[in-house]
Amino acid sequence: MALLDDGTIYSWGCNETGQLALNSLSACSLTPTLVPVEHKMKTIYTGGDRSLGVLFAISQDGQLFSCGYNENGNLGVGDAEQRIQFTPVDLPNVQTIACSSSHTLALSKSTANNSNNYSQ
């Protein structure tokens, strides 16, 4: 995976579960290939192994996307079907992701209004 300064993503390598977001299933992509996505991305996260890979990305406008292996629902899209292209995840204010082939953790920015008088 490579995220370029202009927000485009290139992917290559194993793609057995669609984790390269190339809108296809193939054994491998041997050269860097532009990921077809309308949004410009600011960060990407990968997890899993070669046959159970997952990919998450946060767009420059703050939207979360996922693709790849999803047997455990770890893509956060409401089912357990694998995805071969980026699919929006309905989770606002995500700052960072930790992901694997069996689970995902997301850290979101709190939007709570709090006086913090007691270091809560």
The model's pTM: 0.86
Q: Where are the beta strands (DSSP E) in the chain?
A: 2-3, 9-15, 26-34, 41-47, 54-59, 64-68, 83-89, 94-99, 104-108
Task: State how many domains the chain has.
Answer: 1
pLDDT surpassing 50 at residue 59: yes
pLDDT for residue 111:
56
23 in any annotated domain = yes
- Label residue 86 by pLDDT band (50, 70, 90): very high
- Domain assignment present for 62: yes
Residue 116 placed within a domain: no
99 part of a folded domain: yes
Whether 77 maps to a domain, the answer reads: yes
- 20 assigned to some structural domain: yes
Residue 34 clears pLDDT 70, i.e. is over it: yes
In a domain, 115, yes or no: no
Q: Which domain holds residue 45?
A: 2-108
Domain assignment present for 54: yes
